[in-house]
Amino acid sequence: MSLDNTNQHEIDDLEDQAKQMVSLLDKNAQHLSMRTLKKLEEGRAQAIRVHAQYQSGHVSNTDGTLSQFSHWADNHRLVSVSLIAVTVAVFLIISQSFMRSDTSDAFLLSAELPPEAFVDLGFEPSLNRIENI
**Rounded CA gap, 100 and 102, in Å?**
6
C-beta separation of 33 from 39 below 8 A: no
**Domain count for the chain:** 2
**Residues 7-40: pLDDT tens digits?**
788 888 999 999 999 999 888 888 888 898 899 8
Which residue did the predictor score with more confidence, 58 or 122? 122
| Range list of H helices, 1-133 | 8-29, 34-56, 67-70, 76-110, 115-119, 123-128
Record the pTM: 0.31
Q: How high is the pLDDT of residue 1?
A: 44
C-beta separation of 46 from 55 below 8 A: no
Q: Are residues 125 and 77 in the same domain?
A: yes
Q: Are residues 108 and 54 in the same domain?
A: no
Per the structure, the complete domain to which residue 55 belongs is given by: 7-62
